[in-house]
Amino acid sequence: MASSFVDKARISVHAGKGGDGAVAFHREKYVAAGGPDGGDGGRGGNIVFTVDENMSTLMDFRYKRKYVAGNGANGAGKRCYGKDGETLYIKVPRGTIIRDTETGAIMHDMSTGEDYVAARGGRGGWGNMHFATPTRQVPRFAKPGLPGESHDITLELKLLADVGLVGFPNVGKSTLLSVVSKAHPKIANYHFTTLFPNLGVVYVDEGVSFVMADIPGIIEGASEGAGLGHDFLRHIDRCRLLVHLVDVSGSEGRDPVEDFEAINAELREYSPELAERPQIVVANKCDLLGGDREKLERLRKHVEGQGYSFFEMSAATHEGTRELVKACAARLAELPPIASYEADYVPPEPKVDTSGELTIEHFDDMWLVEGPWLQRLVATVNFSDYESRMYFDRILREAGVFQRMEAMGVRDGDTVSMYDLMFEYKE
**Which of the given ranges, 149-153, 223-227, 233-237, 415-419, has the highest pLDDT on average?**
149-153
Q: How far apart are CA 370 and CA 360, in angstroms?
A: 7
pLDDT, tens only, 210-265: 888 887 766 555 445 544 445 667 777 888 999 999 998 877 778 899 999 988 98
Residue 96 and residue 2 share a domain: yes
Say if strands 415-418 and 421-424 run parallel, antiparallel, or are unpaired.
antiparallel
Strand order, beta sheet including 116-119: 88-92, 47-51, 116-119
Among left, alpha and beta (phi > 0; psi -120 to 50; other), residue 104 is: left
Q: Would you state the pLDDT for residue 128?
A: 81
Residues 176 and 308 in one domain: yes
The answer on 377 and 302 residing in a single domain is no
User: CA 24, CA 207: separation in Å to the nearest integer?
Assistant: 66
| Contact yes or no for 187/44 (Cβ under 8 A) | no
Q: 255: exposed, middle or buried (C-beta count within 10 Å: 0-12, 13-18, 19+)?
A: middle
CA distance 353 to 350: 10
Q: Is the pLDDT of residue 118 over 90?
A: yes
| Residues 62, 102 within the same domain | yes
Do residues 17 and 149 touch, judged by C-beta distance below 8 A? no
| Per-residue model confidence (pLDDT) at position 188 | 43
The answer to whether the pTM exceeds 0.85 is no
Residue 133 resides in a domain: yes
Same-domain pairing of 46 and 126: yes
The domain of 248 spans 163-334
Kindly give, in sequence order, each residue whose CB lies less than 8 Å from that of residue 213, ignoring residues fewer than 6 positions away: 159, 161, 163, 164, 165, 197, 198, 199, 235, 236, 239
Look at residue 342 and tell me if it is in a domain: no
Based on the domain organization, do 42 and 12 belong to the same domain?
A: yes
Question: By the 8 A CB rule, do 14 and 55 touch?
Answer: no
Is 413 found in the same domain as 310? Answer: no
Task: Answer whether residue 43 shows pLDDT above 50.
Answer: yes
CATH of the domain at 392: 3.30.300.350
Is residue 309 a contact partner of residue 281, using CB atoms and an 8 Å limit? yes
Q: Which residue pairs, CB below 8 angstroms and at least 24 apart, start in 176-182?
A: 176/214, 176/243, 176/245, 176/284, 176/313, 176/315, 176/321, 176/324, 177/212, 177/214, 179/315, 179/318, 179/321, 180/212, 180/321, 180/324, 180/325, 181/212
Q: Identify whether residues 186 and 318 lie together within a single domain.
A: yes
Instruction: Mark whether 294 and 384 lie in a shared domain.
Output: no
SS3 312: strand
* 404 compared with 141, residue with greater pLDDT: 404
145 contacts 125 by C-beta, under 8 angstroms: yes
* Three-state SS annotation for 351-404: CCCCCCCCEEEEECCEEEEECHHHHHHHHHCCCCCHHHHHHHHHHHHHCCHHHH
- Single out the residue in 334, 366, 397 at which a domain terminates: 334
Domain of 131, CATH number, reads 2.70.210.12
User: Mean pLDDT over all residues of the chain?
Assistant: 83
- 251 and 142 within one domain: no
| Total tally of structural domains belonging to the chain | 3
